[in-house]
Amino acid sequence: MNNPTQPPSGLFLFDKPKGITSHDAVDLLRRKLFIKKIGHTGTLDPMATGLLILLVGAATSAQAGMQGSAKVYGGTILFGAETDTWDAEGKITAEAPPPPLDEKTLEEAIKSFDGKIIQQVPPYSAVRLNGRHMYKMARRNEVMPEVKREVEVRWLSRAARPPALDFEIECSGGTYIRSIACELGRKLGSRAHLCALRRLSIGAFSVKDAVTAAELQAMPSAAALAKLTPLPGAARV
């Protein structure tokens, strides 16, 4: 509960639907709570669904500290085609026959994407180069150097449905699942892109406890305020 003598503050767990941006989600909560100072702890691409932690009021101060939290994703990689965005939203740039997805082949290939790895940041990303977003440079077809970063990945499960692979992955903050999809396709001598993604958890927070867009739109402002988790809860992340 929020102290009635203090401006509302806390974490709001939102289950983002497919097709809206993270900023759209922020605007939705702003309109519901009549509060302008709202941010989030980490972007979800428009095609992705799942947990988005929205920070309200003074809780926005926790943004930097929470962005590095471990995350769990479930999703699907589709083999046979690579896109410019490395996901289903982009244009196909290369095609190749789908690889065999038997257990032995997958186990050997996935070794390269398990544990601490160096991954390439997708050209269509919010990472900045010399102060400019890479996705803006990519849209202009500007030549960009490869940007790589160290991340940590742990495969929790996988299930082949040729030509697709369903998975559940736990990863460090800043990991691009699109990169794993694209690079795994190349590793297997094919091409691939991410065709579905759902964020299941961020640190100790689960999408099971999140409010859907339909629920948020239907509930009164007071009910939405009651869903705020006080800032001290961020210590669990």
Report H helices in 123-164.
134-139
Q: Which two tokens stand for residue 190?
A: 């094919």
Q: How many CB atoms lie within 10 A of CB 51?
A: 25
Q: Which two tokens stand for residue 153?
A: 């990945």
Q: Which residue has the tokens 């709202």?
A: 38
Of 88, 67, 32, nearest to 213 by C-alpha is 32
Of 10, 69, 17, 14, nearest to 209 by C-alpha is 14
Of 22, 11, 80, nearest to 49 by C-alpha is 22
* The amino acid at 53: I
Q: Are 160 and 188 in contact (CB under 8 A)?
A: no
Distance, in Å, from the CA atom of 87 to the CA atom of 71, rounded to the nearest integer, reads 19
Q: Which residues are catalytic?
A: 45
Q: Label the pairing between strands 205-206 and 192-202.
A: antiparallel
